[in-house]
Amino acid sequence: MSFDNIHSRLSTTNSFQCAASIADGCAACSSSSLCWSAGIAVDEKRWFDNLKFTRRRVQRGDVLYHMGDHFESIYAVRSGFFKTRVLLEDGRDHVTSFRMNGELLGFDGIGSQTYSCDAIALEDGEICIIHYQRLMHLASKVQSLSLELNRMMSREIVREQQIMALLGTMQADKRVVTFLLNLSMRFNERHYSATHFILRMTREEIGNYLGLTLETVSRVLGRLQTAKLIGIEHSKEITLLDVDRLRALSRRESDPLLLANNLAVPMAFRRQPIGPQLAHA
Amino acid sequence: MSFDNIHSRLSTTNSFQCAASIADGCAACSSSSLCWSAGIAVDEKRWFDNLKFTRRRVQRGDVLYHMGDHFESIYAVRSGFFKTRVLLEDGRDHVTSFRMNGELLGFDGIGSQTYSCDAIALEDGEICIIHYQRLMHLASKVQSLSLELNRMMSREIVREQQIMALLGTMQADKRVVTFLLNLSMRFNERHYSATHFILRMTREEIGNYLGLTLETVSRVLGRLQTAKLIGIEHSKEITLLDVDRLRALSRRESDPLLLANNLAVPMAFRRQPIGPQLAHA
DNA sequence: TCGGACGCTTGATCTGGATCAAACCTTCAC
DNA sequence: GTGAAGGTTTGATCCAGATCAAGCGTCCGA
């Protein structure tokens, strides 16, 4: 099984295949515009290339780090798809995030010098390993890097707040729709299609992330399909057919008419999105 | 009503009453050992006093900042009790944290230069206002401050992951018990009693935080009392009577025998905590 | 080509916690 | 004191989503 720590597996075998990619800097990285560089003042970018990130390929199932491992590095996703999960004392686990290219992993390890969750590849991909001490050494000279680092951690805090609110207040339909729209938005930011994408994770992983069972996720997706809001092919291939109504569903207080009882809603009962929502800048 | 922004209310009226407290530095702060200073190398502490935090009194109901307000400062709680909450697009809200002395508020604002939640005082208290730009200016000279700031934000990320897992996987009894034990731990760190404390928040706020209704919170607390695991006086005054069994409850996979059907459990059916839990460093 | 593992869908049933409702404290202003 | 407003408890009922249980699709290695 491939759930060994990535370091034990890769560090011994892959030096040759990384040699080439280490050589070129961040400029060549497909996620650079979403990644660190974005926050760094132009005249300081030369510093950045000095960091010479280690780049590594990972395979589906590889573990970037385990909960409890000594913290040393932050990871930037170059390609592929990852999940993080925390293990609870009672043996259950909970998926806390899905990560795609340009996103970062490992901030959880800084506080206690120990990772607080597992990070696992859901498909083959490539990551940059950013040595934290070296990063902070650089940041001590380049203030814009410190500031950008703070911004990224802050956004992570806000992202988690949103999920807490989702888990604490939304019912199943809304959770799933919100999840799909969030994926859509992130694909769009990466100039992929916002309305047609592949789910890289299983129904069980989605359910776990959203605080639902896999059966409930499956049923909600089925209902959304019946209602012609989304299309599903081969289970994993999703097409958003009516983003406006999906948005309305994710924003609106529960509206049982829209998705009740496993049935599509007769046209006559469909409602238009209502007026101004709560202001929140 | 006192839900105005603290700045509009205080900045015009309180300059005189703050004059004295601004004068003395962090050394006199009751929460200094839990607060920033802890992470700052001894020989650099003099820098710290240069920051000369603005200190402010707040009253129950005061709002430190609103969602959407322009971000300028981080807040350190010196005394009192605070909650943060996010407002959702559908009009609901969700309580995302409770804060006590020595804890910090406002990291959510760094990423977008705008606070992403409301921060509200649950009782009268006092806070330090830490101007972010000035802080970062100092951090650019004192690396240990940068590092400590990262550690604090990382711990916030980990804290939120724990809550996500709680909201995603635990049933009501466990949520409430976990909540009580978390409060107990934090009181203990502050050298207050770990087993006897006042709940500063309402049942509704607890329920909202835990993803439950106020009725469910009330019932669980009632059951815990009936089971002699806790004592409750005047609704708000909690005594933890059997911390070991409470811990077992919060750690263990659901054990319907322990707290079922609103009844205390006959001695014969009480179980001892089982062997080694999942390792997680 | 087959078989088996894994993931997904769908149906039937159950139940924990939500909801609705009422009464009871506690606090506080007058 | 009295009364009103909030907050809390408790009971009765309901229901969204969990659980249990087949059966199906798809992928992949032999």
Please write the tens of the pLDDT for every residue from A19-69. 333 335 566 666 666 666 666 666 666 666 666 678 899 999 999 999 999
The token duo for B113 is 């230069």
Decide: helix, strand or coil at residue A236: coil
Q: Which of B114, B161, B210 sits opposite A160 (nearest CB)?
A: B161
Q: Is the pLDDT of residue A131 over 50?
A: yes
Q: Do B112 and A161 touch (CB under 8 A)?
A: no
Shortest Cα distance, chain B CAs vs residue A144, angstroms:
10
Pick from A1-15, B210-224, B253-267: least confident: A1-15
Residue A281 with chain B: CB contacts under 8 Å: 67-69, 114
Pick from A248-252, B104-108, B195-199: least confident: A248-252
Give the pLDDT of residue A35: 67
Residue A68 with chain B: CB contacts under 8 Å: 279-281
Pick from B38-52, B162-176, B245-259: least confident: B38-52
Residues of chain B above pLDDT 70, percent:
71
Q: Is the pLDDT of residue A70 over 90?
A: yes
Q: Do A116 and B92 touch (CB under 8 A)?
A: no
pTM for the complete prediction?
0.85
pLDDT tens for A170-213 read: 999 999 999 999 999 999 998 999 999 999 999 999 999 999 99
The answer to whether B124 contacts chain A (CB < 8 Å) is no
Shortest Cα distance, chain A CAs vs residue B17, angstroms:
33
Give, in Å, how far the C1' of D4 lies from the CA of A252.
35
Q: Is the pLDDT of residue A150 over 60?
A: yes
Cα B15 to chain centroid distance, Å, stands at 28
Confidence of residue A15 (pLDDT cuts 50, 70, 90): very low
Q: Where are the beta strands (DSSP E) in chain A?
A: 54-58, 63-65, 73-79, 82-87, 93-99, 104-105, 118-121, 125-131, 196-198, 230-233, 237-240
In terms of Cα–Cα distance, which of A63, A67, A60, A109 is closest to A81? A60
Q: How far apart are CA B46 and CA A237, in angstroms?
A: 59
Point out the residue nearest to D27 (C-alpha to C1'). Answer: A234
In terms of Cα–Cα distance, which of A186, A187, A188, A220 is closest to A203? A220
The token duo for A150 is 């703070």
Top-confidence range, A88-92, A116-120, B260-264: A116-120
Residue B109 with chain A: CB contacts under 8 Å: 154
Give the pLDDT of residue B263: 37
The answer to whether B43 contacts chain A (CB < 8 Å) is no
| Letter string b/e over residues B149-169, b meaning 16 or more CB atoms within 10 A of that residue's CB | bbbbbbbbbbbbbbbbbbbbb
Mean predicted confidence (pLDDT) in B133-161: 92
Q: How far apart are CA A101 and CA A202, in angstroms?
A: 19
Q: How far apart are CA B12 and CA A272, in angstroms?
A: 45
Count CB atoms within 10 A of the CB of residue B81: 20
pLDDT tens for A99-110 read: 999 899 999 999
Q: Are B76 and B35 in contact (CB under 8 A)?
A: yes
Give the pLDDT of residue B24: 54
Q: B21 phi and psi, to 5 degrees?
A: -70, -25
Give, in Å, how far the C1' of D20 lies from the CA of A195.
35
Q: How far apart are CA A51 and CA B164, in angstroms?
A: 34
Q: How far apart are CA A234 and CA B114, in angstroms?
A: 42
Give the pLDDT of residue A274: 29
